[in-house]
Structure 1
Amino acid sequence: MSVRTPDPNPGWLSDIALEETRSRVPILYVEAVPVRVDSLGLVESVGVLLRGSATGEMTHTLVSGRVMHGESVREALMRNLEKDLGPTAFPQLPVSTVPFTVGEYFPLPGVSPLHDPRQHAVALTYVVPVTGDCAPRQDALELSWLTPDELMRREILDNMEGGRGALVREALAHLGALPA
């Protein structure tokens, strides 16, 4: 019997193992549409992150990240919100872990509105009210709070990474906040 040193990050795959896994099986993600709401619970603004893409382009995106092995969906959602928005964002996680929609990203464009050239991914997508101060972290350069009217501008929606503009539109419709 051999004695092994425990892996300090047992929920993570090495870069090589992740690339191999991505080429063979769908990967589970959580995504969040951060919102600021008024005292009646109506959406005032939606938070979108600005990131540099692998090709050097600037794109807007949402809070997103993988669910690690052994991690609950709720834990993954909180971890990724903190990772992207900072520790003082104070997100209010939904009572239920039932997402408002499930996004399916395919590596080949045109299969669905959502596209990720690295992999086939399935994303449980949530609307999450945020009450604290947000400071983007990790690879996000900026967080912008846009009103639903501002967000629905074609130059914003069409510039969202991987087709996420479709998720934003669906989130606003789900909340009854889609501008007329």
Structure 2
Amino acid sequence: MQEHTNAGDQWIPEQDYRFICARVPIVCVDLLPVIGATGRFGLITRDTYDGGRGLNLVGGRVLLDESLLDAVERHVEVTLGTAVAVALPSLTMVGVYQYYREARPGELHDPRKNAVSVTYAGIIQGDAHAYGEALAFHTFELESPPELSAFGFGQGKVVYEALARWRRLHVS
């Protein structure tokens, strides 16, 4: 697998990463990118698991000694491009979510790892394009998210909660 996360010397080879994921939860960040003052938000299409694809938030693993906000900025840059910036003061914490390796009713699921994600919604600025793990970048009206079945890893639940929180705090 090619390194696409700007992890530098903290990139973990696939075999080692699988070993680690089989033993400990992985800390991640995710972002629901709200596009400036457009009334729209974005999601990426990416591979999920077992040959699947779905809509997803922007995010991934937090590196050792990396702050959560630095991780958000890094994942936005490698997923949406260097022309995109996160307006850090706009970040709103949505919640902390756990993705289980074993499927559980009503829970988020990622058979590759047990991940704990600190999830935000926030404004991005700039011309976003799909890079790295993103196969495409799609935008949607804040009031018209995609159907739950369109999401990978069960992230529709997270996106709906993020949109509700964002609208409650930022949309009049």
> Any idea what the Cα deviations from partners look like across 1:69-116, whole Å, max 9, x if unmatched?
1211121111001011111112212477x7320111001111552111
Shift in CA distance, 48/95, structure 1 to aligned 2, threshold 3 Å: closer
**What residue is the counterpart of 1:5 in the other structure?**
none
Q: How many residues align?
A: 162
How far apart are 1:12 and its partner, in Å? 2.9
Is 1:128 the counterpart of 2:122 in the alignment?
yes
* Bigger Rg, which one: 1
Q: Which residue of 1 aligns with 2:81?
A: 86
Identity of aligned residues (%): 30
Q: Classify the secondary structure of the residue corresponding to 2:79.
A: helix
Q: What amino acid does structure 2 have at the position aligned with 1:165?
A: G
Whether contact under 8 Å (1:86, 1:134) holds in the other structure is: yes
Output the CA distance in 2 between the equivalents of 1:130 and 1:9: 24
Aligned position for 2:156: 165
TM-score, structure 1 as length reference: 0.81
What residue identity is the alignment partner of 1:99?
Answer: M
Instruction: Name structure 1 gaps, 5 residues minimum.
Output: 1-7
Unaligned runs of 5+ in 2: 1-6
Which of residues 46, 50, 55 in structure 2 aligns to 1:60?
A: 55
When the two chains are superposed, the root-mean-square deviation of aligned CA atoms in Å is: 2.1
Equivalent residues in 2 for 1:1-180, closer than 5 Å: 9-38=8-37, 44-94=39-89, 99-110=93-104, 112-151=106-145, 153-154=146-147, 157-176=148-167
- Structure 1 contact 12–69 (Cα < 8 Å) conserved: no
SS at match of 1:74: helix
Q: Deviations over 1:35-91 (max 9, x none)?
A: 1242xxxx7111011123343333111101100112111211110010111111122
Are the counterparts in 2 of residues 11 and 70 from structure 1 also a CA contact under 8 Å? no
Q: Which has the higher strand share?
A: 2
Aligned-partner residue type, residue 74 of structure 2: R
Out of 164-173 and 68-77, give the one that drifted further.
68-77
Residue 123 of structure 1: how far off its partner (Å)? 0.2
Q: TM-score, normalised by structure 2?
A: 0.84
